[in-house]
Chain A
């Protein structure tokens, strides 16, 4: 038999080659890129509408709750460095198959809704390239999703360098916004009173809470870093630093960007805009050509949204793959393409579900339903994720004392309790504020249940017959 040489350093093979490939720095940028793209470009106007000039407070609060949740993830990832993420932790803590299924399907649903919201946001920015005209938004968002599915199938997403490059581009857009604000402030034009203005009628605390629920969408995405847990070099050190560090940096950027937007653009104008960050550039504060800056900024925004949507679209087939391997959903989702090694059925299916959300949303709007698709899908994502995050924090506390590893990161218990309360408060408010989002949640959960029933009714009990690994009767096409 072959020998498996014992090694001194666990991450380096006997000839000095790296066994694992993701460094702490790459993980940091992966987190940052994941978090930054989701939301800030798309959502800032909606948050401004909910709160008023002081909407940076909503971002600060959302960021804090999310970063604490990130600490819980860091603890769990360092204890169980596998790719499965929240489902795995919940299974370890509760050992309840129904609960694990619910968490997995919720996570999948959140990811679908997030992709839909991002795709709709992409279409908003895209139309800016044509001065608000151009092809219909629905067509743009559907083509966007289709192209990303194809890119995923080919496997271009695998480049770590590409990922870092896109993150830098995302950051550059936000730095432009901050630069404009600094220039504006330096000229002495800024009215800092805006930053404390909660202009919405009614209880200011509730207004901020409404903003937090929306701004929370901008912080999501960090949970996808569990995807690369297994391939991270020295995860015990890298994960807490890169994950929490990335979230804190993203949080600081968000607070500064929202202050910058509030200072430079009248809040009602931000609130009405689908492309609120572009409004900052449109103000023409800088002494360069505004048209050129607008185009550059629009392209940066498109790249940012693309980067985050790519990660969500990578995650969905992966979740389906894991579930199919455990016979929870039909075995077709466990099929990988013979050459490309990509789970093409899962990819196609994810693309169709996201496309379905976009079409449904557009139909509802056209039927006269008062619906902002970006807003609605973002809230649906947030509702799912808040529930999952709260459960993950509980899981983290429940798993204390089990599988302890002295190298694992340990989050502060009082902080976790604060994070749990925070998640639940935002969740409660998000549902209270807009109960109709629950219908969308139910619809997405139904997709998971249908897949489960399909496997139960049609799936073979998958005896390990020789040569037919992961093949089910309906899997043969």
Chain B
């Protein structure tokens, strides 16, 4: 089974990756793709909040921010078993995750849904909701724990 772990650079997406590792059987996973989507027309095309020390940003490159976030998520799965691919895509986040799922013939998509606040219950269009609706395969939405993010 090909599993896609999506990251938007948020801490919650790191928690989602760790959550997958906490219960899934690596022997059943043939390949794991860590996918980040850069949003060219957004104010901040990609922000990396998962890599320690990434608060310096000398190059001003959103692509580098995405690469470092993907690297950080990929290291979660170091030595776990499945082959890990790192992929950066560009466009609208939900669309690109769904396209990636179709393209790689994925058996599972793992996304984070960070929202606890008002904004996610009131405003429609969150990435996780759209992926759930339109993905061609099962979707694991990892929501934040009530207090602290779940750790292994």
Contacts and interface: CB of A to CB of B under 8 A. Distances in A.
Given A2-B84, A82-B61, A464-B52, A341 B12 contact: no
A85 B94 CA distance: 28
Which of under 10, 10 to 19, 20 to 34, or 35 or more describes the interface residues of B?
35 or more
Interface stretch (A10-18, A368-376, A408-416): A10-18
A246 interface: no
A462 interface: yes
Given A154-B123, A154-B125, A339 B10 contact: yes
Interface string A136-169: 0000000000000000101111111001000000
Nearest to A320: B43
B92 A2 contact: no
A208 interface: no
A184 B38 CA distance: 49
A341 B42 contact: yes
A338 B12 contact: yes
Most B-side CB within 10 Å, residue of A159, A160, A340: A340
A21 B42 contact: no
B86 A230 contact: no
A151 B98 CA distance: 24
A13 B88 CA distance: 9
Interface residues of A, number: 58
6 contacts: A1-B78, A15-B104, A158-B42, A160-B91, A318-B43, A334-B55
Contacts of A5: 85
Nearest to B52: A466
A358 to B, nearest CB: 21
A206 interface: no
A231 interface: yes
A343 B44 contact: yes
Contacts of B89: 13, 17-19, 21
A22 interface: yes
A19 B46 CA distance: 14
B23 interface: no
A340 B119 contact: yes
Given A4-B86, A230-B61, A339-B114, A158 B120 contact: no
Contact of B85 (A2, A18, A84): A2
Given A464-B53, A467-B52, A317 B43 contact: yes
Given A13-B89, A158-B39, A160-B91, 13 more contacts: A2-B74, A3-B83, A13-B88, A21-B38, A21-B91, A84-B60, A155-B39, A158-B92, A159-B92, A326-B57, A336-B44, A339-B12, A343-B43
B126 interface: yes
Interface string B36-78: 0011111111110101111111111111000000000010001
Interface of A: 1-5, 13-22, 82-84, 88, 152, 154-160, 163, 227-228, 230-231, 314-315, 317-318, 321-322, 325-326, 331, 334, 336-343, 346-347, 462, 464, 466-467, 469-470
Contacts of A19: 88-90
A395 to B, nearest CB: 16
A325 B65 CA distance: 12
Nearest to B77: A2
B125 A322 contact: no
Interface string B1-41: 00000001111100000000000000000000010001111
B100 interface: yes
A347 B43 contact: yes
A163 B123 CA distance: 21
B44 A341 contact: yes
Most B-side CB within 10 Å, residue of A2, A163, A317: A2
A321 B100 CA distance: 29
A156 B92 CA distance: 10
Nearest to B65: A325
A78 to B, nearest CB: 15
B85 to A, nearest CB: 6
B150 interface: no
Contacts of A163: 41
A83 B41 contact: no
A157 B42 contact: yes
A18 B44 contact: no
A339 B115 contact: yes
A343 B38 CA distance: 15
A334 B57 CA distance: 10
B67 to A, nearest CB: 10
Contact of A322 (B12, B60, B85, B113): B60
B13 to A, nearest CB: 10
Contacts of A337: 119
Nearest to A334: B55
Contacts of B59: 82
Nearest to B46: A341
A22 B55 CA distance: 27
Most B-side CB within 10 Å, residue of A84, A160, A339, A464: A339
A106 B125 CA distance: 35
Contacts of A20: 90
Contact of B42 (A314, A334, A467): A314
